[in-house]
Structure 1
Amino acid sequence: MRPLRPGDPPSVGGHRLLGRLGAGGMGVVYLARSAGGTLVALKVIRAEYAADHDFRTRFRREAEAAGGLTGRWLVPVTAAEPAAREPWLATAFVPGPSLAEAVTLHGPLPDRTVRVLGARLAEALTEVHAAGLVHRDVKPGNVLLALDGPRLIDFGIARSAGATALTASDVVIGSPGYLSPEQARVRTGGGGVGPPSDVFSLGCVLAYAATGRRPFGTGTVAAVIFRTVHEEPDLDAVPWTLVPLLTACLAKDPAARPTAQEVRAALTDEGGLTAGEAVDAGDALTDGGGPAPDWLPPSLPRLIAERSSAALSLPDPSPGPGPGPGPGPGPDPRPGPGPVTLVQPDGVPEPARPALSRRRVLALGSAAGVVLTGGGLAAWAATRSTADRDGSARSGPLPRYVIGLQADLSGPDRATGRAQERGARIAVSHFNAGSGGSGSGGSESRDTTSQGATSQGATSQGAASQGGGSQGGGSRAGRPFDLALKVLDDAGKAKRAEEVTGRFVADHDVYAVIAATGGSAAEVAVARYEKALLPVLSVSSGTDLYAATTTRAYFQLRPDEYALATPFIHYLTHVEKSRRTALIDDGAARRASWQIVKDMSAYPPSQGTTTTHTVPADSEDFDAVAAAVLAADAQAVVYAGTSPHRAARCARALAQAGFRGTRMASQPVLETAFLKEAGPAAEGWVISATYVDPAALPAAARFVETYRKRFGVRTVERYAVEAYDALLFVAQGMRELGGVEPERGAMVRRLRQITYRGLAKTIEFDPVTHEFRWVNSLFLYRVQNGVPVFLGHYDKAKKP
């Protein structure tokens, strides 16, 4: 909510305006209190639309239609006045966040929550369609999340089924990314828009809720609409149990889609679709058909509680003009709230009803008695969270700081970007629950004069930071602030990265960014962040950007590709003890291969000898190299290239030649293509890498369990736990600044002074050169039974 502006009226239709909830092309939405003390969301239509007689006619008709909808999952219309100079419409106020806000700040929703969300929205649309209406703008911004279930809002462009468009015929009605193909075809004179259009939009909304991304991507409006009409949706990250249903909802042909009632049946296991199997909602629904009390993930109820408490604590409307109260003690002279008068669409006032005092509203404390959905429980929860479990009182919510995540979420490195996003979101949840302040061993600072961060002197950082909430309501002891995560997709493209970087730099609520997933976007991003002195951390980029910049603000938390020779030398010296090592220099890898060969030739394993065998970039003849390796009587082979395909050719050639010694390669090789193409020849290969398998780390057991449960996967993707560590490393830097509000320049200095013992590795920097101690980030894997098995830190690996 924002304060009222000087030009805003003090009241509308007997409702006292309290603040702005939002503004759009059609008008402004206010938070208002009725004469009876009820909080409402009141939309006032802009004057330019009100001057159009046809618009007023449509507005009256739509207000009448929306006023007749009373479903549990729809926000009821409480008053409307189409004949006013500026038409307005009031609906019940729901203090919960929109689905768009919840996903932006807390990430994709769990599968269980998505099923409940879909079932309830489908039930709402069933009533809408039964009334002969089409919503036409089902999108995440029009879905509010309350403690007792979701609410579908904003019938500003709802239309009677088969009616013409609300505005000119060449204007698309709806929101690109969520509108149906038939809505998009309005420009070209396509057919009418009916209930199947809302089902298509619902499918898009559920895909977004489950993955955090639109099924038809992002970009220009024209590009999104083209993909909506002509291409298949991207459902790769959607939980498999939901894929058949969403595929049916997103059919291009409206006749092939299920009805809203069929969607509800599929999601509540009351029936199924011919296009796919039904999805069981399990224990997420109560016997009465409503969501279970814990249908939302733990991070959201606290946010709802805070907003409910803030709304309930708003002052009563100021009295109207007239003489003020006389001096001296006595009863409160302010008039109590008067009767509630609803101005019906036909202009006839509804008979007055007994007013509820504000004290009575608070006493009722239920969703039915208070228009604030879930308000009683939420207000209690907010009050409960203002005291520590030890009984020490705290006043107000903790300050909340934002950490950005810039990643490739839709380009060639989207798997890595998605893993980092997931790891970072879990870190925020754990931190806000009071259990994520450190990794396995905690952290320490080399600056012994730094103060512990226990003060609450900093203040909230604005709208962008309003979403980070506690997961599970852990103790506030030792946690001086909450965190929120802001995620932007650069698609791995330099131009897009420049735009995203600019947005983070301009957002002064952001104190650090995890970025540089890889590709051409990395260098562009780092240079811009460096100039702004905004701390930027990379956990997966192997590009040596440190030497390319002045790099005070850049923190590369992994070795570059040229450091991967160290594990080779150590392993072949202390584990396999190779005295004669063959180095295969792959010309296709250029400098990366050349550097490994150079380092190992200068420091041969076991202080023995090395021989170098080169394969030209334009050749895939590894048979000759394999014969030369045998002729050199080598005890070990190191493939120095970076291509999984060429490494597989090398592995097969060595196996066919009968080589039985140790075979090693670097991280870029360890891909599915290598394992698949090499087949049995990959068995026993040892790979040096810069990421861990958290499932093999006892200290990461809680992280792995949370990750698997939250995202519905069996395997934690690479660099997820590294992103988790990076975010908590930044949080520790904020703590180390003591009781003052973080500042970007101070963060840059502090982060290079602390040591953070994370789940994957220890993060620390050399006190003289200020470079990351990359020796902590080198690990080994061995291919066993066709899969890579984590051996641990390179100096801990043992002979099989």
Structure 2
Amino acid sequence: MRALKPGDPPFVGGYRLLGRLGAGGMGVVYLARSTGGALVALKVIRAEYAADHDFRARFRREAEAASGLTGQWLTPVTAAEPAAREPWLATAFVPGPSLAEAVTLHGPLPERTVRALGARLAEALTEVHAAGLVHRDVKPGNILLALDGPRLIDFGIARSTGATALTASDVVIGSPGYLSPEQARARGGDIGPPSDVFSLGCVLAYAATGRRPFGTGTAAAVIFRTVHEEPDLDAVPWTLVPLLTDCLAKDPAARPTAEAVRDALSGEDDREHERENDRENDQERGSAEGSAGEPAGRHEAGGADGREAGREAGGADGRTDGRADDWLPPSLPRLIAERSSAVLALPDPSPSPAPGPGPGPTTLVEQPPEGPAVSRRRLLTLGSAAAVVLTGGGIAAWAASRPSSDGDGATSSAPLPRYVIGLHADLSGTDKAIGRAQERGARLAVADFNSRSRDGRAFDLVLKVLDDAGEAKRAAEVAGRFVADNDVYAVIGPTGSASAETAVTRYEKALLPIVTVSSGDDLYSQITTRAYFQLRPDENALSTPFIHYLTHARKSRRTAVIDDRAAGRTSWQIVKDLAAFPPSEGTTTTHVVPAGSEDFDTVAAAVLAADAEAVVYGGSSPHRAALCARALEEAGFRGTRMAPEPVLQAAFLTEAGPAAEGWVISTTYADPAELPTAARFVAAYRKRFGVRTVERFAVEAYDALLFVAQGLSELSSVEPERGAMVRRLRATAYKGLAKTIEFDPVTKEFRWVNGLFLHRIRNGTPDFLGRYDRVKEA
């Protein structure tokens, strides 16, 4: 929430304005409080638009449509005045974050949460469609998260399915990335309930992956892909893919109904439990009417049909089995609690009456009788002692998080400053698997840092993720966006080498620290850079593990180097280094395979003729390395075989088959599953992301982000500034899970000896041996 601006009125329609929740082209949404203490989200349409008859008609329609909807996952309208000079509408205030904000801050949601989210949103849409309405703007920003479930908000463009469009026929209404193909084509007459189901499919794909299923870019590009291309569901949990594929069908008639989506995502046991709970609630309400003699209606806690009172004692919908309030991952209830607790600091409403001549506002919704004024110290506890909806005279907050004042009036639970770290990643291009792993590792690092005790932490971290698809042009655009965002103090990335040089130049000019963990280009020596922190050894260092291993672990006096000319610089560097520094002070022979040839049998025969004790493959192609491995196997070579990191791909293991067994590969990444210090990280990673194996460069990204966090912490009380961060990080040493991050005081380069590792192929899979200089003789 932001403070009111000087031009904002103190009161609207009898409500006192407390702050701004958001603003758009059409109007402003305020947090407001009634004279009785009820907190509402109050939407005011701008006067210049209200003068337009169509806009005013749409606003009236929103109020009328929303006032007839009372479902649990919809926000009730409490009052409205469409005839005012600046029409306004008041709805129950939900203090939770939007789905968009939650995913941005904490990453994709686990499958269990996505299923619960989808089932409840589908239930909300089922009610909307049964009323003859279409929402038309189902998107993450219009979904608020509460402890008991989501809330679908903003019916500003909802209309009756039988109504005539109020806008021109060629105007697209909706949000690119979440609108349906029929919306994208601006065919108003074709837009019905299936359009909302398509949007819901987009929302659930985003919730599960953190990415829009039709990508990003200009609105025109996204709309084109929505109409003509298939969605990207690669990262969606496989159990959800069939349903989301059906929801995202181009033909509206082929999509399931909202009710069918709800049934597909909800187990029959849950539905039976809900039916049983509804019967119990009906009985309780009937008993209350008979014994207390008061009508069933809004209670002080504020549900439209008294549901909220039932939640106070039990679960989110009256349950006592704890099912409803544990649907969110652990990080989000904390965020909701922070938002709820922040409401406690709001000022009490002025005791003087709101100004304004004549009678009160005309309302489309009958307001409940006002109770006595409520002070900010009064807490409304819902679910398992946490707030969900602020309305009807209650204030949502965690009872346990009531701030305690110290001498100067500061509170121990006051929110900490938030520093943003960017992640510049390839999430949709050729290196998307590595980019996704880095995003996951970075998100775990942010969660771990923010969970630390406040006694040793002066700030919270926020991760901002942007995708460059592995393209140089988009990398420059992503760098420009991070540079322009003054809240970003450092960036992790880029993922691959193809986009690194262009991006690094942009970051260097802005003195914005850029920390890369997987790009192998030696940009530090190519660019006069202070802001570039390369935490991965470049290709010039890849030969070092070969020489060390063949000197100290498996001695080789006669080493053969296979110079695969298809590899270019990689092969040249390996041949050059092993010729200059022969392992075990012995001899090396070089055997060339032309770039256009796949004849490795000839060089295999030459290796045996040279009586070589070890072979180093100087190339970067998994396919060609597999040909080399098979040729050596068939020739009967039984010595040590080694290759550089680019070879270690599934293609090498598959194509080489048994011939890959025993090969030793030099890499710049570790396997955290084999690191005792990373056991907690591995367990958390597997649980959060539902994988068995921690992908390459995930733990390195985790370490890199906490390295940046340590640099921010070492600035102490000094306000963070990009130039100061550059200097601080260059002097910072951080002991990570995979390696120690530190820089040479003279050259200012990363101490690459800490970042080179060896793997051996065993039983068809890579077996992590450890840091190259600590590997003992097998």
TM over 0.5: yes
* 8 Å CA contact 2:553, 2:777 repeated in 1: yes
What residue is the counterpart of 1:309 in the other structure? 341
Q: 2:746 aligns with which of 768, 771, 776?
A: 768
* 8 Å CA contact 2:340, 2:397 repeated in 1: yes
Aligned-pair CA distance for 1:352: 7.1
Aligned-pair CA distance for 1:287: 5.2
Q: Distance in 2 between matches of 1:35 and 1:49?
A: 29
What residue is the counterpart of 2:434 in the other structure? 416
Distance change in 2, residues 1:373/1:86 (3 Å): closer
Distance change in 2, residues 1:398/1:381 (3 Å): farther
Aligned-pair CA distance for 1:311: 2.2
Q: 2:329 aligns with which of 297, 300, 318?
A: 297
More helix by share: 2
* 8 Å CA contact 1:265, 1:271 repeated in 2: no
Q: How does 1:491-640 map to 2 (within 5 A)?
A: 491-640=469-618
Q: How does 1:398-797 map to 2 (within 5 A)?
A: 398-434=416-452, 475-797=453-775
List per-residue Cα deviations over 1:333-376 (Å, max 9, x = no partner): xx9xxxx977323xxx8477233311398254448998428986
Could you say what secondary structure the match of 2:324 adopts?
coil
Aligned-pair CA distance for 1:733: 1.4
List per-residue Cα deviations over 1:70-105 (Å, max 9, x = no partner): 111101111111111222111111111100011111
* 8 Å CA contact 1:2, 1:20 repeated in 2: yes
Could you say what secondary structure the match of 1:293 adopts?
helix
Aligned-pair CA distance for 1:40: 1.0
Could you say what secondary structure the match of 1:621 adopts?
coil
Which sits farther off after the overlay, 532-541 or 360-369? 360-369
List per-residue Cα deviations over 1:180-205 (Å, max 9, x = no partner): 1121222xx47521111111111110
What residue is the counterpart of 2:390 in the other structure? 372
What residue is the counterpart of 1:96 in the other structure? 96
What residue is the counterpart of 1:71 in the other structure? 71
Could you say what secondary structure the match of 1:664 adopts?
strand
Q: Distance in 1 between matches of 2:758 and 2:360?
A: 73
Could you say what secondary structure the match of 1:359 adopts?
coil
Aligned-pair CA distance for 1:164: 3.5
Question: 1:105 and 2:78 equivalent?
Answer: no
Distance change in 2, residues 1:223/1:614 (3 Å): same
What residue is the counterpart of 2:144 in the other structure? 144
Q: Distance in 2 between matches of 1:118 and 1:25?
A: 29
Aligned-pair CA distance for 1:631: 1.1
Aligned-pair CA distance for 1:244: 1.9
Q: 1:248 aligns with which of 237, 246, 251?
A: 246
Q: Distance in 1 between matches of 2:316 and 2:661?
A: 45
* 8 Å CA contact 1:570, 1:795 repeated in 2: yes
What residue is the counterpart of 1:467 in the other structure? none
What residue is the counterpart of 2:304 in the other structure? none
List per-residue Cα deviations over 1:392-428 (Å, max 9, x = no partner): 9736222221111111111111111111111000001
Distance change in 2, residues 1:88/1:215 (3 Å): same
Q: 1:344 aligns with which of 348, 351, 363?
A: 363
- Structure 2 regions of 5+ residues with no counterpart? 271-314
* 8 Å CA contact 1:62, 1:156 repeated in 2: yes
TM-score, with normalisation over the residues of structure 2? 0.89
What residue is the counterpart of 1:21 in the other structure? 21
Q: Distance in 2 between matches of 1:532 and 1:64?
A: 51
Q: Distance in 1 between matches of 2:317 and 2:697?
A: 35
Q: Distance in 2 between matches of 1:797 and 1:191?
A: 70
Distance change in 2, residues 1:369/1:742 (3 Å): closer
* 8 Å CA contact 2:404, 2:411 repeated in 1: no
Paired residue type of 2:237? P
What residue is the counterpart of 1:6 in the other structure? 6
Q: 1:215 aligns with which of 207, 213, 227?
A: 213
Distance change in 2, residues 1:139/1:68 (3 Å): same
How many residues align? The count is 725
What residue is the counterpart of 1:468 in the other structure? none
What residue is the counterpart of 1:357 in the other structure? 373
Distance change in 2, residues 1:165/1:291 (3 Å): farther
Paired residue type of 2:551? T
Q: How does 1:74-89 map to 2 (within 5 A)?
A: 74-89=74-89
Q: Distance in 1 between matches of 2:667 and 2:405?
A: 45
What residue is the counterpart of 2:255 in the other structure? 257
TM-score, with normalisation over the residues of structure 1? 0.86
Which sits farther off after the overlay, 8-17 or 753-762? 8-17
Could you say what secondary structure the match of 2:521 adopts?
coil
Q: Distance in 2 between matches of 1:240 and 1:350?
A: 47
Could you say what secondary structure the match of 1:775 adopts?
helix
Distance change in 2, residues 1:104/1:205 (3 Å): same
Aligned-pair CA distance for 1:270: 2.2
Distance change in 2, residues 1:386/1:249 (3 Å): farther
Paired residue type of 1:180? S
Paired residue type of 1:114? V
Which sits farther off after the overlay, 144-153 or 375-384? 375-384
- Structure 1 regions of 5+ residues with no counterpart? 273-282, 323-334, 435-474
Distance change in 2, residues 1:363/1:765 (3 Å): closer
Q: Distance in 1 between matches of 2:37 and 2:16?
A: 10
